[in-house]
Amino acid sequence: MYQKILVPLDGSKLAECVLPHVEAISQGCKVRDVHLVRAVEPLALAPDTSLAFTQDELDRLESGRRSEAEKYLQQRAQQLRDSGISVESEVLLGKGAEAIAEYAKKHEVDLIVIATHGRSGVSRWYWGSVADRILRSACVPVLMVRAPGCIPGI
């Protein structure tokens, strides 16, 4: 049923709580490919602070962020490969939810597996939810995994 699974990660332990689920689904469904992605949003500097940096400094900062994200994804990918799973990884540049939904469409994934903080009420409205935006914008099934320690409620 599922041949390509997309797993957005953000570098946090919370996001990684999906990996055991991805392993189980991959092995149980004989998944062909797992795609790990991490979205790196462009730096948003306040107008007065942008003058404090040269373009070269900004470019080095962006390059360092991408490099760190690539290293992180390679480490997580190796964990899955050690379990016999075929894994690709890619750093996406752009706004998180939009970049992930676009990647899912472009690469024709069958399932997106993402962790969710499980926020509700005002904190969800204020902070927004990448997982929620992906759920609403993706055209494929989305498995949302609640973080360990989640407190039930509405």
Q: For residue 81, which amino acid is it?
A: R
Strand order in the sheet with 4-8: 87-93, 33-40, 4-8, 111-116, 142-146
* Whole-number pLDDT of residue 20: 96
Asked which of 22-26, 47-51, 52-56, 86-90 is least confident by mean pLDDT, the reply is 47-51
Question: Of the CATH numbers 3.10.129.10, 3.40.50.620, 2.30.30.60, 3.20.10.10, which one belongs to the domain with range 4-146?
Answer: 3.40.50.620
Say which DSSP state 20 is in: H
Closest CA to 20 of 119, 129, 100, 115: 115
Round the average pLDDT of the chain to a whole number and report it. 85
Q: pTM of the entire structure?
A: 0.84
- Token pair recorded at residue 8: 């957005």
Beta strands 142-146; 4-8: pairing state = unpaired
> At a CB cut-off of 8 Å and minimum separation 6, what does 25 contact?
2, 5, 31, 111, 113, 143
- Residue spans of the domains in the chain: they are 4-146
Looking at per-residue pLDDT, the higher value among 84 and 47 belongs to 84
- Token pair recorded at residue 94: 């752009």
Backbone angles phi, psi at 4, to 5 degrees: -135, 120
pLDDT tens profile 131-153: 888 988 888 999 999 877 666 66
Q: Which residues pair with 90 in a beta bridge?
A: 37
User: In the predicted model, is pLDDT for residue 128 greater than 80?
Assistant: no
* Whole-number pLDDT of residue 124: 46
